Each structure stands twice: as structure tokens, then as C-alpha cells.
Amino acid sequence: MAQCVQSVQEFIQDSFVPLVAALCSEEAERLTRKNNLSFAELVKPFCRLTSEAHMRDPNNQVHIIKNLKIAVNNIITHPPQPGAIRKLLNDVVSVSQPAEGLVANVITAGDYDLNISATTPWFESYRECFLQSMPASDHEFLNHYVACMLVVSSSEPEPVEQFLKLSQEQHRIQHSSEYLYPKWFIPNTLKYYVLLHDVSTGEEQRADSIYEEMKQRYGTQGCYLLKINSRVSNRGMDEQIPDPWSQYLQKNTIQNQDCYEDCPYTVIPNKSTDHLISDGLDSEIKDGLSNNFKTHPLQLDHPSGSLDTTDYMKATAVLQDSKKANSGTPHGACLTLTDHDRIRQFIQEFTFRGLMPHIEKTIRQLNDQLISRKGLSRSLFSATKKWFSGSKVPEKSINELKNTSGLLYPPEAPELQIRKMADLCFLVQHYELAYSCYHTAKKDFLNDQAMLYAAGALEMAAVSAFLQPGAPRPYPAHYMETAIQTYRDICKNMVLAERCVLLSAEILKSQSKYSEAAALLIRLTSEDSDLRSALLLEQAAHCFINMKSPMVRKFAFHMILAGHRFSKAGQKKHALRCYCQAMQVYKGKGWSLAEDHINFTIGRQSFTLRQLDNAVSAFRHILINDSKQPPAQQGAFLREYLYVYKNVTQLSPDGPLPQLPLPYINSSATRVFFGHDRRPAEGEKQAATHVSLDQEYDSESSQQWKELEEQVVCVINKGIIPSNFQPTQFCLNRYSDNSRFPLAVIEEPITVEVSFRNPLKVPLLLTDLSLLWKFQPKDFNAKHDGQTEELGTCDDDTIGTEAIAEFLINSEETKVARLKLFPHQTGELHILGVVYNLGTVQGAVTLDGIEPSIGLQTGKFVSNGLSVQGRQDLEIQGPRLNNTKEEKTSIKYGPDRRLDPIITEEMPLLEVFFINFPTGLLCGEIRKAYVEFVNVSKCPLTALKVVSKHPEFFTFGGNTAALTPLSPSASENCSAYKTVVTDPTSVRTALLSSASSVDFGVGTGSQPEVIHVPLPDAVLLPGASVQLPMWLRGPDEEGVHEINFLFYYESIRRHSKMCHRVLRHTAVICTSRSLHIRATVCRSNALEDEEGRGDNMLVFVDVENINTSETGVKEFHIVQVSSNSKHWKLQKSVNISEDKDTKLASRERAKLCFKAVRCKNSEENYTFADIVFGNEQIISSASPCADFFFQSLSSEFKRIHVQSRSHASQRAVKQSFDETVRLIQRCSEVDLNIVVLWKAYVVEDNKQLILEGQHHVALNTVGKEAFSFPQKQELPEMVLLKFFRPEGTPGPARPTPEQLSNLIKTSLHYPESFNHSFHQKSLCLVPVTLLLSNCSQAVVDVMIDLRHKTTSPEALEIHGSFTWLGQTQYKLQLKSQEVCSLQLKACFVHTGVYNLGTPRVFAKLVDQVTLFETSQQNSMPALIIINNI
């Protein structure tokens, strides 16, 4: 039980006090009414004695009475109606509520911290009022009147006669048979005569004389002169006099019947009439609904709309009016503090001189009567000791006793006299004597089986035993249990049973027996009185929480039960309080269904009490938690919530939009897209893929686009990226960089994708769904700013807002809504959230499974008519900062500005369409497509460029290409190449042309990835479109390739915020294998060609068809081989085969050999030499052949440059040394590129198609094999881990022997056979010319040594020996590319085959030491045959 203001002893003593009746004359009542008080009310605050009282018991022992209180009541001659008592108790509880600023008691139990009100003043008020309003009964005398005050005014003409009339009236009320009420203690009731004197108006002498006469007539002990009204009520109002009456008058006692006689209360008829109020105090006010426990045992018995019946409303109104009258009118206005003391003195005198002697005398008389009637010696007090010292008679159980609750004793019965004496002793705190008498009476009643009387004796015997000073015996709780069971089960008197429970529970609580007290309280809960059950259940809950080990869940459960019964009793505020206190236990502990029930009830009760904010909050909790309720229940919760919310919004229709809890919004998943939606493809016309909300975010792809944009911006700004550069982001999401304000363009839509989730099992219907925004107009070219415009869904002049009329989210579905804004003005836009009407779909509760969602997605949805308008804010938390030490050690988040775009001035808008764009190509295949550029804005665009990581994939043609190409349809069956018909005589002979790399965008200093789009006049006007040819070449590697194009363009006018715009396109090309080409170059032994030039080489080309048959390629034709170089050119084909065309079927290989010679032209231009195998020459120096060649060349350079950069640190050592090495290395370098052009014959759908293509091979080094695409190196599965110590500075790079041997090329010119007559002349002299060619770009010193002899025995056996005649050593100096000849003579002595390749040639650079001198070896033996004739 909760804490009480009084101790248990004080509570019991104040519950049972001597009752004194007051009978006043009309004049006396008038005097007291001057103070707005009746006489009984006037003396009420002073009825507790301030000093001890003394009396003697029957044994003549002095008994001290402490803190005695008496009760003075007006005589009421009819018993209170049960309905009135119920109404009174209901009102007492209803009025008593927790104080507003009361600090709750915090109880910590385990992991619970509960805020619980420590006291329950409503329960104490109920208990006090209940005990005071108990009607008097015949089986006990505790609430029978002991005395009667007769009050007469001194201003009456004949006060003594008036006293006589009142005395006769009292006698008639007590002894006449027509009055059954009130009850009187003994026939000879004490009459106390009080003369009331009004000091302000009455004559004091007359009052004194009347008082003297009274003393002579009634004795000084039986009368009193009470002087009141010492001041006039309208004078001296400024003096503050305390008002001790207000606290008593607020409690409407049963004696104030005026309030209830006019109240239309409902009295429920009693079924058992064993006693006056045998049905208990049922305060339930029916709400028009019967209790229905089929759905839930705690279901509320009234809907949210109805509060109470009309009768209850009227009764409450009357009560409120009376309370206002009481509280608004001052009491005791004519009384001074002296008058207060006089009244207090009057009560003291009455008690000490009148009441106590009367009670003492009555006890003696009763004791004497009992002794005489029972024949007992001395007194009952001493006799009982003997009885109890002997053996005890076993008591019969309740079940064995017959139901004799209707047995009545006559008033003079000795059993009742014992009870009467016991009650008198109890009232004057003589608990030991009272206990003895109660015990005696109990035995007599049980013997007579008078169960009502026995239960009463047991009850009071238990209380007396507890209150005995010194506690000689323990509290007999079993007496109380027997009494309660008897009252409830046998006598059917719930009022007396309730009194027993209230007394016993308080006693048990004082002994810390909370468990027993709780069991007792719970036992008395029943269906006959909801108010009583509610109060007792609440106290039981407090017992559970106050235990040594608090039982928190039991506390909460019984609080819920109490709240439910309070609700049934019409005590809405108390019901709400109980549920709120219980909620502390269930909240957040996983009791989801219990939480839902509590929140639902709190919502209902709060709504009934018009606490709409609390109601909304409670219903909100039901909806936002992960509910485990069935769909029907969730639907009911949602409808209830909408109903409550609608009422809230109707109270303040012009207020701010409320925040709605449903559906959930995943704010971080919000995506913002700037720009128009992507156009679908139309036939062969395919729009650029660009960016759309349907694409998933890919961080790698995003980084690639960013790098491409930086690349083109860097080129535009001459190699520098501006500091204010902001990468274009079309779609902002949780992964993008949202730290800057995004830029949007005026008149272009902003699409916000909001992710909604419906946590319920019922569909939600959102109507009129749109964005909520705030806008501040700004002219970025002007200095002043505009005024901020708040959220507009109506102001379409500034920002056009698109609304979704109906948006259905099925049960437990996550669904995105795309909402658009159309900015019509420049400025700063802030997207705040979404606004919508939340409603449900009619019949949604019955939806289950898949079928309803399918049905709901077609056509219109039927709303059930209940919807509320509200908003939800989009609050996005930025990324956590983790850069500085402070940020790492604390939790800080950066800004996320994706919802705060800046609307900039008008910008051009480009759309790109691709016509005849292929999806599949052969590796190296050339295909011609067309690109259409359309300016769909109102601004002209310029500086159109395209950038890609794969520039070798496409070309728009160089400056040599015609800018007015044929239309796509006209060029459908034409070759992608520029061709001319060849002369048959020129087959296999080179046809020369030249081209500058500048024409094809190579060598201009710009990055080759950034390609200028050749627009006519370099400007695309608003609404204009242009079609340009675009040649594509299939990547050299097979597989699926994603190739990103970034189109860059600018406005003609410079803007402060946005400098450029970009358009993205991703092409997906699937390539399949075609040809694989390998090529090598080696020096020709012939020092001169047909034209007499001394520098030539042989080029070997190996072509293999690696195509698989799945692609439908029948065969490949090698139609042309071209060379491109600044220094070399192909001269002719030296193939042995005379076939005009080279055909390759699947897996076939062809070997081609060509002679290459050095060019004579300038260094700037590339020489293109075409060796044609067919009838048509493809002009390799024109688009697109040259374009793809130059692009492959630049990508090759880029690859080599990356490799060479990694060795830059090594190259920094000994610069002159490296230059020497470089010169030597350059001798073996060849700058020759081979282009193999082919046609493939494909059979597709019984039609033969001809595909064209080209492959490139870059020959860089003599003797080193080159491939058409880099070979993949297969990594070994496992390699040994090597540890090494890094050396110091690396030594200088040394040229390899192969490189050194290529400095000088030697060639011997001699006759293949020589005839000589050895008979005529024994020595054969043969002239031999030694040609020396300097292959390097530097001056070379050459030394020829003829003394070298072949020492190898094998060589001697084969070739034989000979000698050189003349000078044996020559020293020459050869300039760059110089050819020198030496005339030598070889001497032979007999016939045979000889190898003339014996001269040793040494070479070194002029300005270097002999470090690099090495022998120049001939590539093959020079054999001569000497014949004898």
C-alpha cells in the first residue's frame, strides 16, 4: 500500500470516534449561517482535544485518553441512500487528484527506474469518506450517537422553553417507533444544553442571566454559554483570519444531503436485502455499453467518442456548482481568533465535563448489569482473565456454520450489552477491556450462530488486540480473515467486508507484511463495485512495489487492472494515471502486445479527457513500434489514431502541419536527381544513357566520370584545374559527396526520391503527396537578395510542385516516391520534407496475401474517408568527420546539403542520339555510325568536346574528313573507308601518301583522350540539331567492354555559378576474336636497293585467323597492308606466292614478307605506304584508317611513357653517359608501324555481309617480335619469395651486345664463283669490296682488322684457309648514315669454297673512349667458290 499521512493507530482511532448529535433551533442555526456554516460544521475543526483526558475503568483504575477526537453531526432522520453514497464516494475520488508539481518517488528495482507517486490521497479520502458514511447497524454500536447537543440562541424570546422543545424533539426521535434512524447508544442519552450568543448584536447581560438560569436547571456540567460572531462580516475584511473549515468542507460528507437530493443518480436495485446496504458501494456509472469480455478481459466499455451518460453529467454539474459555492465563499467571516479559542474551549468543556463522565458512568452501569445478570463475581474485566487462562474451546470453521445472519437480538440482550460495553471501551481507547469484551461476545455469538454479530466481534477484537499498548499479544490476522469471509460469503455484506479489509490491510502494512496485505486487497475485488476494486487493486500494486524485493511486474499488472476498473467506474483521470505508471515497466522490454494495449488505452483515455496531445503521442507509439498485432487490430489502431488526429487538427486548423508517424521515411536513402528524365530509344536512334534514378550507384564508375570531367576541364583551362571546380553530380545519394551546395538550373526539374516503408500489415494510402520547401530568391548577378518564401505547395510561380494524387504502400512494403519541383526563379532552395494526407484503404483489414496488392495496383483506390494532413521532415545526417585529431576523438558529423540546391541561371542543354550504333563487333572491326547532337534549351552551346578513357575506340574523323557526310541511310552499304580503284600493275607495290599527325589531333600538346567535336560554326543554336559521322573500331581484346563517353559543352555567356555542363553515355560493346598478327623486322644483307639506296629492311608479318565459328565468319581476306612511319616505308611485297588475294579460313595462318626502305621526306609528316592485295586501295592516310592508327599510336606512346617514368630516377645519373647509350640503342630502333586491313565475310540470316577492319602492329626494335595486342603473361601459381639487400646508386646502363653490333652494317661484294688457272699462276687474287654503313645518327670511328683467322677446326674443314693481301688494318671515320667502300684482295692457293666473312670490324663513337668498342659480326657467311680451269 502507498504511504499515508496518518499512522495506522491514528487512522483507526479517527475512524471510530464518539458520535454526538446536534439539534439546533432556527435562530441558533441563523447565527451560525452568518459564517456560511452550520453548527456541526462550525465546531468540526475543533473536535480534536489538545490535552489528555482521564477516566476510571470498572476496576477504579485511572485510564488516560490521548488525542481524542469526537464527531458532531446534525441529526438526519432518514438513512443515506446507497446510490447517494456511491455518488459521494465517486465524487470524492474524482476530486482528489495528484498535485500538479508533485515530485514523484523514484524506485530503482533491478534495471527499472520507476517514477511512482508515493502517496495516494484519493484512496485516503475515499477511505475516510467511506468510514464516515457507513450507516448505523444493529449488530454494533460504534456509529451510534452517545450524546446530543441542544443548541439555542440567546436572542430568542424564551430560550428555556426552546431547550425544552428541543429536548422533547430529541426524545421523540430516539424513542418513537416512526424514526428508525439515527441509532442511539443507550436509552438515557446525554443531553448537553448550549446557549449560543451573538456578541456583535446580542445583549451580553441577558445571555449571562439565561446561562445562570440554565446552570440552576441543568447543572454546571450539563450546559454551556458559547459566544461567537465577535465582529461584523463587512468590517475589517483586510484582517487575515485563518480558515480551518475549508479542508473539512471540501470533503462532502453524507450529512450534507442538500447536494444529493436533487441529483439524478441511478440507484441499482439490490438483489439481496439482508441488510440496509447489502450490495456494497457500487459507484459504476454505466456508459451505455455492457461489459464484453469476448475480445479482451481489459477492453474498455465505451468508445472513444462517448464519455458518460446525461444523468452523470448533470450530477457532476450540480456537484461542481456546490464546490464552487463552497470554495468561493469565505467561512467564519464573523469570527475572530478569540471566537476560535472559545469554540475550542467549548468542545474541551463538553468532553471533559459532560461526555467523559457520561461514558464512564455508562461503562460502570453496563458492567454492573452484566455481573448481576450472569452472576459473575467482581467485574467482567477480572473474570475474563480466568476464562482465557483455561483450556480453549475449538472454534468451528465457517463452512460448518449455518447461515444465520438474519438472527436479531433484542436490545436488552446480555450479548448485546457486552458488545455495547466493548464498543464504548474501544471509543475511549480502553483497548484491553474492549478486547476482553469482544472476545466474550464473539464466543456467545458463535454459540448462537449469529454470524453477523460474531463477525463484528471478531473484527473489533482483532483491531483491539493490535491497538493494545505494549502489544501483549500478536495481531490475530485470522480473526480478520474469518470476519471478512463471514461478511462476504454468509452475510453478503460487502460494505462491512470492505471495512475489514481496509483496517486489516493497513495493520499488515504497518508490520511490513506487504504480501499478505496485497492478497487481502485482491481478494475483495469483485464485479459489484468497480471503484472499490480499482482502489484496492491500486493499493495491492503499491504493496508489491514496496516489498523488500520489489515485484515490479506484479506492480505493473495490478496497476493495469486498477486502471481498467477505474475506467469502468468513470474515473478517467485515475485510469489514465494507472496506465501511465504501468507503462514505465512494460516500455522497451519486448512486451510489444502489452505496450500496444497500454498505449491504446492511454490514447483513448487521454482523448476522452481532451488531452489530445497525449492521445496522439500514445497512438503514435502503437504505430511506430514493430507491431506484432494482427492486421485487423492494426487497422483499428490506425483508424483510431486518424480519428484522434483529425480532432486535434480541427482545434487549430490554421496551426502548423503536424508531424505524422507513418509511413517510415529512410531519410539517408533519399536521392536527388537534377535534370529531365532519360528519353527511351526510338528504333535505330538510341539516346545517350546519361544518368537516371533507375541506375545503381557505383563508386568506381563515379570516380571514373569525375576523372574524365577533371581531364577535360584541365585541357580547357590549359592544364590547370580551377580552385572553384565542382564535379558535376546529377544524382546525389548517401555515397556521393554532399558537402557542397548542389547546382540546379532554372526551368529544369529537380526530382527527389523518398524511400517510404510501411511497418504495418495494412496498406497505407497517401494522397496529395508533394514536397515541402523553402525558397529564397537571389539574383546572382545583382547584389541585393529577395525575401525568403516559406513552404509552397501552392506558389507555382516560384517553384512548381508536382503532387502524386494517390500513393499506395502495401503491408510491410518499402516503396519509393519520386517527387518533382520545377524552379522558375534563381535563388536558394531548401527541401524540408514531404506533405501528404494519410489514410487507409476501405476494406484493407480483410486484405491478406498477394491478391489484394495485385488488385490494389490497378485503378483507383477507395479510401475509407478518414485521412489527416500532415508532414514529415527529411533530416539527413552527414558523414562522420574523421580527419583531425579532435574529430577522431569526438563524434562530429559534417553537413549533407543534397536537399539545399542553388538554382542558377539558364544554361544550354544537350541531348545526344546514336544512330546505327552496334552492340557487337569483331576485334579491330571498323563500323560507321552517326551521332546526332540536339540543343533542347533556349541558350546556344559551344566548345563541344568528348572525352573517354578509350579514345582508340571511336573517331569523328580528322580535318581531312568531309564535314558533310552522307546520311545514315545512304551510307548503309558503303565501305567505312575511303577507297580508290587501283591499277592492276601496281599490285604488291607500295602506293605512297602522307599526312600530318596534327590533322588527327596527335602531337598538338593536348591529351588525346579529349576530342573536339567538329560542330558547324562551333556553335549549336537553341533547338538546332546536327548529325556527324562516327567511326568505331572494335577493341583488340575480346569480351564485353563498357566505354564511357563524357560530352562537355559550355554556354556562350559566362556564368558565375556554373561554367560548363556534361552529358554521360556508356556504350556496351561485345567483341569477338578475329585476327592475330605478329610481325618482326630485320636488316637486309643487301646494302643497296634497286634505286641505289643503301638502307633497307625486311618485314615479316604473320597473320592468323583465331575467330571461332560461332560468330558466323566464313573467312578473312587480307586486302591491304600499310605502313606508317616518319622514317620507313614499305616498298614492295616479296612473298613467294603469286596469289592475288590472301584468304584465311578458321585457324589458318598466312606469312607475308615485305621490303622496307628509309623515307626521304621531312620529319613532320608521316609517310603512308599501301600495299594492296585487291582491286581497291584503302587510303590509309585518310579517315578513318589514319585516325585509328594515330589513336593507337598515342595510346602506345602513353603506355611506354608510363613505363619509362618508373625508371626516371635511374636515368638521372651521368647524363652524358646516357646520351651515348641512347645513341647506340637508337641504332637498333625502328619506328615502323604496320596496319593490316581486312575484310570478313559473314553469313547471317542466309545473307552474306562484308565486315571491314584493321589491326596495328608497332615495330620498335630490330629482331624483336611485335603483336597486334599485348600478350597476356601467365603468372606462375607459386613463386619463391626472394629477400635482397637494396644496393646503392645503380650503375650506368650498358648497351647490349646486340645493340652495339648494329652500329655498323657491313656487306661484302664479290663474285659468287671465280675461275682461275692454278697451272698458269699459283696464286689466285680475287677483288672484294667491303661496304660499311653507319646506322647511327652519330660520327663513328671504325677499325677493320684483316688479320683475323678462323681458328675453329670445323670451319677450317669446311671452308679452308685464305689470306688478305695488302693493308691488314684500316681506320675510317663514318658520318651519320654514311656508306663507305673498301677495295680488298683475297689470295687463294687452291680450289674450294671459302668464307670471306673473316674481317673484324671495331667501332666506337668519336668522343668516347674504347669502352663500347666491339666486334661487328656479319649476320651470315659470305661464301665464294674458287674453280680451277
Residue type (1 letter), 630: P
Question: Of 418, 356, 273, 439, which Cα lies nearest the Cα of 64?
Answer: 356
Alpha-carbon distance of 478 to 492, in angstroms, equals: 19
- Taking residues 344-372, what's their average pLDDT? 91
SS (H, E, C) 1138-1189: CCCCEEECCCCEEEEEEEEEECCCCCCEEEEEEEECCCEEECCCCCCHHHHH
Helix axes 121-132, 530-545, angle to 10 degrees: 130
- pLDDT top residue among 875 and 1195: 875
The strand ranges marked E within 178-300 are 190-198, 223-228
Model confidence pLDDT, tens digit, residues 424-447: 999 999 999 999 999 999 998 999
Among 172-186, 729-743, 899-913, 1078-1092, where is mean pLDDT lowest?
A: 1078-1092
* pLDDT-derived band at 515, boundaries 50, 70, 90: very high
Alpha-carbon distance of 36 to 1006, in angstroms, equals: 107
- Is 209 in contact with 202 (CB distance < 8 Å)? no
- Taking residues 313-320, what's their average pLDDT? 42
- CB atoms near residue 77 (< 10 Å): 10
Predicted confidence at residue 1083, as pLDDT, reads 79
Predicted confidence at residue 303, as pLDDT, reads 38
Alpha-carbon distance of 1079 to 517, in angstroms, equals: 106
Q: Where are the alpha helices (DSSP H) in 1207-1292?
A: 1208-1211, 1215-1227
Alpha-carbon distance of 238 to 240, in angstroms, equals: 6
Whether 1267 shows a pLDDT value over 50: the answer reads yes
Question: Of 230, 243, 227, which Cα lies nearest the Cα of 195?
Answer: 227
* pLDDT-derived band at 855, boundaries 50, 70, 90: very low
All residues at 6 or more sequence positions from 1264 whose CB lies less than 8 Å from its CB, including other chains: 1080
Whether 1060 shows a pLDDT value over 70: the answer reads yes
Mark 599-635 as b/e (b = at least 16 C-beta within 10 Å): bbbbbbbbbbeebbebbbebbbbbbebebebebebbb
Whether 1085 shows a pLDDT value over 70: the answer reads no
Model confidence pLDDT, tens digit, residues 478-509: 999 999 999 999 999 999 999 999 999 999 99
- pLDDT top residue among 543 and 620: 543
All residues at 6 or more sequence positions from 906 whose CB lies less than 8 Å from its CB, including other chains: 745, 746, 747, 937, 938, 939
* pLDDT-derived band at 965, boundaries 50, 70, 90: very low
Alpha-carbon distance of 1047 to 933, in angstroms, equals: 10
Model confidence pLDDT, tens digit, residues 559-587: 999 999 999 999 988 998 898 888 888 88
Predicted confidence at residue 677, as pLDDT, reads 82
- Taking residues 899-913, what's their average pLDDT? 92
Residue type (1 letter), 619: F
- pLDDT top residue among 674 and 1002: 674
Among 696-705, 713-722, 989-998, where is mean pLDDT lowest?
A: 989-998
- Is 406 in contact with 453 (CB distance < 8 Å)? no
Predicted confidence at residue 923, as pLDDT, reads 92
- Taking residues 1356-1361, what's their average pLDDT? 65
- Is 148 in contact with 189 (CB distance < 8 Å)? yes
Alpha-carbon distance of 143 to 1382, in angstroms, equals: 158
Whether 1303 shows a pLDDT value over 80: the answer reads no
Alpha-carbon distance of 351 to 344, in angstroms, equals: 11
Alpha-carbon distance of 223 to 871, in angstroms, equals: 79
- Is 1349 in contact with 1361 (CB distance < 8 Å)? yes
* pLDDT-derived band at 233, boundaries 50, 70, 90: low
- Is 195 in contact with 211 (CB distance < 8 Å)? yes
- pLDDT top residue among 1224 and 88: 88
Q: Where are the alpha helices (DSSP H) in 375-427?
A: 380-389, 414-427
Question: Of 344, 215, 255, which Cα lies nearest the Cα of 76?
Answer: 255
- Torsion angle in degrees (nearest 10) through CA of 204, 207, 213, 216: -80
- Is 1154 in contact with 1130 (CB distance < 8 Å)? yes
- Is 427 in contact with 16 (CB distance < 8 Å)? yes
Alpha-carbon distance of 430 to 468, in angstroms, equals: 8
Alpha-carbon distance of 1179 to 1184, in angstroms, equals: 9
DSSP letters for 77-101: SSPPPHHHHHHHHHHHHHH----TT
Predicted confidence at residue 1238, as pLDDT, reads 92
* pLDDT-derived band at 408, boundaries 50, 70, 90: confident
- pLDDT top residue among 278 and 1274: 1274
Model confidence pLDDT, tens digit, residues 264-305: 333 333 333 333 333 333 333 333 333 332 333 344 444 333
Pairing of strands 902-904, 743-745: parallel
Question: Of 1091, 1176, 1167, 1103, which Cα lies nearest the Cα of 1135?
Answer: 1103
Among 449-463, 1120-1134, 1135-1149, 1332-1346, where is mean pLDDT lowest?
A: 1135-1149
Whether 153 shows a pLDDT value over 90: the answer reads yes
- Taking residues 443-456, what's their average pLDDT? 91
* pLDDT-derived band at 242, boundaries 50, 70, 90: confident
Alpha-carbon distance of 38 to 1274, in angstroms, equals: 115
Q: In this structure, what C-alpha cell is assigned to residue 288?
A: 451505455
- With 0-12 / 13-18 / 19 or more C-beta atoms within 10 angstroms meaning exposed / middle / buried, residue 62 is exposed
Of the CA atoms within 13 Å of residue 445, those in its CB half-sphere come to 31
Question: Of 402, 497, 487, 430, which Cα lies nearest the Cα of 453?
Answer: 487
Whether 393 shows a pLDDT value over 50: the answer reads no
- pLDDT top residue among 109 and 1041: 1041
Whether 136 shows a pLDDT value over 70: the answer reads yes
Question: Of 259, 249, 316, 321, which Cα lies nearest the Cα of 81?
Answer: 259
- Is 584 in contact with 599 (CB distance < 8 Å)? no
Predicted confidence at residue 1069, as pLDDT, reads 93
Pairing of strands 1247-1261, 1229-1244: antiparallel
- Which range is most confident: 1091-1095, 1200-1204, 1362-1366? 1362-1366
- Taking residues 1103-1113, what's their average pLDDT? 81
- pLDDT top residue among 267 and 1069: 1069
Which residues sit opposite 1316 in a β-bridge? 1428
Task: Indicate the average pLDDT of the chain.
Answer: 80
Alpha-carbon distance of 507 to 766, in angstroms, equals: 60
Predicted confidence at residue 1257, as pLDDT, reads 93
- Is 778 in contact with 829 (CB distance < 8 Å)? no
- Taking residues 549-565, what's their average pLDDT? 92
Residue type (1 letter), 490: I
Alpha-carbon distance of 930 to 947, in angstroms, equals: 17
Whether 141 shows a pLDDT value over 60: the answer reads yes
Cα-atom radius of gyration of the chain, to the nearest Å? Answer: 59
Alpha-carbon distance of 899 to 894, in angstroms, equals: 14
* pLDDT-derived band at 995, boundaries 50, 70, 90: confident
- Is 561 in contact with 539 (CB distance < 8 Å)? no
Whether 670 shows a pLDDT value over 90: the answer reads yes
Question: Of 536, 549, 607, which Cα lies nearest the Cα of 578?
Answer: 536
Whether 1004 shows a pLDDT value over 60: the answer reads no
Whether 535 shows a pLDDT value over 80: the answer reads yes
Whether 1296 shows a pLDDT value over 80: the answer reads no
- Taking residues 609-637, what's their average pLDDT? 81
**pTM, to two decimals:** 0.70
Helix, strand counts (H, E) of the chain? 33, 56
- Is 331 in contact with 37 (CB distance < 8 Å)? yes
- Is 917 in contact with 1043 (CB distance < 8 Å)? no
Model confidence pLDDT, tens digit, residues 793-831: 445 678 899 999 999 999 889 999 999 999 999 999 999
- Taking residues 629-646, what's their average pLDDT? 85
DSSP letter (8 states) at residue 512: T
Tell me how long the chain is: 1429
Among 15-24, 44-53, 384-393, 1166-1175, where is mean pLDDT lowest?
A: 384-393
Percent of the chain with pLDDT over 70: 78
Whether 254 shows a pLDDT value over 60: the answer reads no
- Taking residues 1339-1353, what's their average pLDDT? 75
DSSP letter (8 states) at residue 1305: E
